[in-house]
């Protein structure tokens, strides 16, 4: 056993942990990072990155159909999942290598080992080594959960999707959140017959109602058999897949079932409570605005704290942690007005308050337009896009913006800058339109469609 002293020991090599380790090392701190799986975490290895590459792959059938309508002589063959998967994993290997090299290059000592807290300043590794640390940062992320249901272990979770031997012919997706809706679109685009059960009245709870409605409409128009107010009751393995009984009385066999029923923080079995760290009801580490836990030497960032579970938020929390602890400048993380995108087809981009939340807060004006963009109208397509601004009557500030459109993720990033700066409706109006684009509608909406 070795006893080694560090200024910082990071547990977890995902986006947040790696950023904190590198930034602290760049300030001259002696830093170690322990990760028992692949470097890069959920985002790089089994989340955002492979998901987005699958979104790209799944878009081609629609693009090819569109190309034909635009006059191209295009015939499409079948999708070669094995060829795509091989290329996907080669890309993930490359990115993992980049992460490892960045850590090595910044002088961080990495350990491929499982870490547990022995006390507020000591981390024990599965290799038998012990690391003494002035500060410990827990950045262990989360993992997908299956509902407590007999035979649930026969269902897939999102981690499994990138490793499938073959694509199923039929897939039932359970859930109505980010992962369920994104993979419904992906699998449907790749040629899988997708059925989706969501227990609530409308998918994407927490997003703007009109935007959710339009996304659901598009999903159904694309061929996804989406059932709201429906849940899975029982399932059992049978020849050819899983027989599923649903709350709507139906019985059906699906080749595979995907549980996209939420994620839970990775806090079990790492000695957190014994060290004095407080956990919340969902098993998340409780932290203050500086990401400090109940134990002064222990901090936590990212999904393990279950605040806003998005990669760029974990990275921001990492930077602020380093600034606070190693930069001598206490820097809280601002979790307000964070733009985000759901990569459905089309995408949903969102920042700030939904119309419903804003209306509950104060009197608002709602500017909203929904139209067939030029590219669709030309070929007689029916897909509409939507742009909405929710404006405070009292301050004229834009409280929220919601966009359903191709590339809405790109749009919301840019309009998000103005909104985060506190733009008023009149500031937006002063901008001249870029023509012809879809997003020009954001600066040309003159009359509120609702006001109260
Ligand atoms: P979400 O919390 O978004 O969605 C979980 C879904 O499962 C909800 O529709 C929920 O229903 C439903 N559900 C939960 N328990 C059950 C149950 N027992 N039976 C049936 N349905 C159930 O989780 P996800 O796993 O989709 O994503 C996790 C997080 O990861 C997201 O919140 C997001 O922060 C992040 N993420 C971000 C992405 C992006 O930025 N594009 C992409 C993917 C993930 P109900 O609404 O009724 O609770």
At 12-51, the pLDDT tens digits run 999 999 999 999 999 999 999 999 999 999 999 999 999 9
Res 72: pLDDT: 98
Q: Say how many Å lie between the CA of residue 180 and the centre of ligand 1.
A: 7
Tokens of 250: 């139906």
Distance CA 57, CA 53 (A): 6
Minimum-distance ligand 1 atom for the alpha carbon of 308? 34
- Residue 368 has phi, psi (to 5 degrees) of -150, 140
Tokens, residue 14: 């995902």
Q: Which fold has domain 340-451?
A: Enolase-like; domain 1 (3.30.390)
Q: State pLDDT tens for residues 80-105.
A: 999 999 999 999 999 999 999 999 99
- For every residue of 350-404, DSSP letters joined together read EEE--HHHHHHHS-EEEEEEEE--HHHHTTT----EEEEEEEETTT-BEEEEEEE
Using only the alpha carbons of the chain, give its radius of gyration: 24
Mean local confidence (pLDDT), 438-451 = 97
The answer to whether the CB of 343 is under 6 A from ligand 1 is: yes
Strands (E), 284-326: 298-300
Q: Give distance in angstroms: CA of 196 to centre of ligand 1.
A: 13
- Across 2-11, 207-216, 409-418, least confident range: 2-11
Sign of the Cα torsion 435, 219, 365, 416 reads: negative
Contact in structure between 126 and 114 (CB atoms under 8 Å): yes
CA distance 313 to 442: 26
The percent helix, strand, coil of the chain (3-state, each to 5) is 35, 25, 40
Q: Which atom of ligand 1 is nearest to the CA of 148?
A: 18
Q: Does 5-143+264-325 match 152-261 in CATH topology?
A: yes
Q: Is the CB of 229 under 6 A from ligand 1?
A: no
By the 8 A CB rule, do 246 and 197 touch? yes
Q: What is the CATH number of domain 5-143+264-325?
A: 3.50.50.60
- Count of alpha carbons within 13 angstroms of residue 231, beta-carbon side: 8
Q: Does residue 435 carry a catalytic annotation? A: yes
What pLDDT is attached to residue 76? 86
CA of 38: how far to CAs of 44, 80, 263, 267, in Å?
9, 26, 19, 18
Ligand 1 pocket, residue 262 CB under 6 Å: yes
* pLDDT at 245 > cutoff 80: yes
Output the CA 192–ligand 1 centroid distance in Å. Answer: 21
Q: Side by side, which strands form the sheet with 225-228? A: 225-228, 193-198, 170-174, 256-259
Answer whether 197 contacts ligand 1 (Cβ < 6 A). no
Any idea what the Cα angle at residue 23 is, between residues 17 and 26, rounded to 5°? 140
Q: Which residues, in sequence order, are CB contacts of 71 under 8 Å at separation 6+?
A: none
Of 172, 175, 309, 342, the one to substitute when testing ligand 1's pocket (max ligand atoms within 8 A of C-beta) is 175
CA distance 428 to 437: 16
pLDDT for res 3: 58
- Residue 441 is predicted with a pLDDT of 97
Specify the range with the lowest mean pLDDT, choosing from 74-78, 290-294, 338-342, 344-348.
74-78
Of ligand 1's atoms, which has the minimum distance to the CA of residue 149? 18
Does residue 177's CB lie within 6 angstroms of at least one atom of ligand 1? yes
State the Cα–Cα distance between residues 397 and 425, nearest whole angstrom: 6
The set of residues, in sequence order, having a beta carbon less than 8 Å from that of 253 and lying 6+ positions away, is: 170, 238, 240, 241, 242, 243, 244
Q: Do 382 and 69 touch, CB atoms closer than 8 A?
A: no
162, 55 Cβ separation under 8 angstroms:
no
Residue nearest to atom 46 of ligand 1 (CA): 205
Q: Please state the atom number of ligand 1 nearest to the C-alpha of residue 309.
A: 34
Distance 446 CA to ligand 1 centre (A): 36
Residue 236 host element (H or E)? strand 232-238
Distance CA(326)–CA(319), nearest Å, equals: 10
DSSP-derived 3-state class of residue 212: helix
d(CA 347, CA 341): 7
- Residues 115-165 pLDDT 10s: 999 999 999 999 999 999 999 999 999 999 999 999 999 999 999 999 999
Q: Whose CA is nearest to atom 22 of ligand 1?
A: 261
Q: Is the pLDDT of residue 2 over 70?
A: no
Which residues does 319 contact at the CB level (< 8 Å), separation at least 6?
A: 19, 20, 23
Q: What's the mean pLDDT in 55-60?
A: 98
CB distance 176 to ligand 1 below 6 Å: yes
The single residue listed with the structure tokens 């901090």 is 299
Question: What is the residue-averaged pLDDT of the chain?
Answer: 97
Q: What pLDDT score does 1 carry?
A: 43
Check residue 256 and give its pLDDT.
98
DSSP string over 41-79: HHHHHHSHHHHHHHHHHHTHHHHHHHHHHTT--------
CA 118 to ligand 1 centroid distance, Å = 33
Domain boundaries defined on the chain: 5-143+264-325, 152-261, 340-451
Q: Which two tokens stand for residue 99?
A: 């992460």
CATH top-level class for 152-261? Answer: alpha beta
Q: How far is CA 292 from CA 90, 242, 278, 318, in A?
A: 37, 45, 11, 12
- Whose CA is closest to 121, among 129, 131, 112? 131
Q: Which of 51, 43, 89 lies closest to 344, judged by CA?
A: 51
pLDDT at 416 over 60: yes
- Collapse the DSSP code of 15 into the 3-class scheme (helix H, G, I; strand E, B; otherwise coil) and give the result: helix
What is the reported pLDDT for 452? 83
């Amino acid at each position: 056993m070795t006893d080694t002293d560090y200024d910082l020991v990071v547990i977890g090599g995902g986006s947040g942990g790696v950023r904190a380790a590198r930034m602290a090392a760049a300030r001259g701190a002696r830093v170690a990072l322990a990760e028992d799986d692949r470097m890069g975490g959920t985002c790089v290895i089994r989340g955002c990155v492979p998901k987005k590459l699958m979104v790209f792959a799944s878009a081609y059938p629609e693009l090819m159909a569109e190309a034909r309508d635009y006059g191209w002589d295009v015939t499409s063959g079948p999708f070669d999942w094995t060829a795509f998967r091989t290329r996907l994993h080669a890309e993930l290997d490359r990115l993992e290598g980049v992460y490892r090299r960045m850590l090595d290059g910044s002088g961080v000592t990495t350990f491929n080992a499982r870490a547990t807290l022995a006390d507020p300043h000591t981390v024990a590794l599965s290799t038998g080594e012990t690391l003494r640390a002035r500060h410990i940062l827990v950045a262990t992320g989360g993992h997908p959960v299956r509902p407590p249901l007999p035979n649930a272990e026969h269902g897939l979770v999102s981690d499994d999707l990138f490793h499938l031997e073959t694509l199923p012919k039929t897939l039932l997706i359970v859930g109505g959140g980010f992962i369920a809706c994104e993979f419904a679109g992906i699998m449907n685009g790749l040629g899988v017959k997708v059925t989706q059960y969501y227990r609530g009245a409308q998918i994407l709870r927490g997003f703007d109602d009109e935007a959710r409605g339009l996304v659901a409409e598009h999903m159904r128009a694309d061929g996804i058999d989406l059932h709201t107010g429906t849940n899975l009751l029982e399932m059992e393995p049978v020849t050819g897949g899983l027989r599923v009984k649903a709350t709507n009385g139906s019985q059906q066999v699906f080749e595979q079932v995907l549980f996209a029923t939420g994620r839970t923080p990775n806090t079990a079995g790492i000695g957190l409570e014994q060290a004095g760290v407080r956990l919340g009801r969902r098993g998340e580490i409780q932290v203050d605005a500086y990401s400090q836990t109940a134990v002064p030497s222990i901090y936590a960032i990212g999904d393990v704290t279950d605040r806003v579970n998005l990669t760029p938020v974990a990275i921001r929390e990492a930077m602020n942690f380093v600034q606070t602890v190693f930069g001598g400048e206490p820097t809280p993380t601002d979790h307000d007005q964070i733009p985000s995108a759901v990569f459905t087809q089309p995408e949903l981009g969102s920042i700030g308050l939904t119309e419903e939340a804003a209306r509950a807060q104060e009197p608002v004006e709602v500017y909203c337009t929904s139209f067939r963009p030029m590219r669709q109208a030309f070929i007689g397509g029916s897909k509409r896009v939507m742009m909405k601004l929710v404006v405070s009557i009292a301050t004229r500030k834009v409280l929220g913006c919601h966009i359903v459109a191709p590339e809405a993720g790109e749009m919301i990033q840019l309009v998000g800058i103005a909104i985060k700066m506190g733009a008023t409706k009149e500031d937006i109006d002063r901008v001249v339109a870029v023509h012809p684009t879809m997003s020009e509608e954001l600066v040309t909406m003159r009359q509120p469609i609702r006001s109260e």
